[in-house]
Amino acid sequence: MAEIIDATDATFQAEVLDSSLPVIVDFWAEWCGPCKQIAPVLKDLAEQYEGRIKIVKVDIDSSPRVPGEYGVRAVPTVLAFQDGQVVQQLQGARPKGDFVEMAEKLV
């Protein structure tokens, strides 16, 4: 079963920017309802694209530095990274198709 990795300010560089795979990062918070709505979608993506895309979650409350660096002002914000660069961004609870489309652009 594919794993969603929890990254922090301390591990973001290694997990996301230095990753050999493209990475989809979910900036979320425990108190965020829409974040909970998209969680199962991201879990599906982690399984569907296992070995081809890495799915990472960053809790903005426990790791505020990285979201600040990327201008995250609302959650959920989902960023797609390729070779350490942001290539796409989605905000809010979106249809599953939007996330699948994001993933397809990365593979």
SS3 letters for 40-99? HHHHHHHHHCCCCCEEEEEECCCCCHHHHHCCCCCCCEEEEEECCEEEEEEECCCCHHHH
Instruction: Out of 35, 46, 60, 75, pick the active-site residue.
Output: 35
Q: Which of 23, 25, 32, 46 is catalytic?
A: 32
Would residue 77 show up in a list of annotated catalytic residues for this protein?
A: no
6 belongs to the catalytic site: no
Question: Catalytic site residues?
Answer: 32, 35
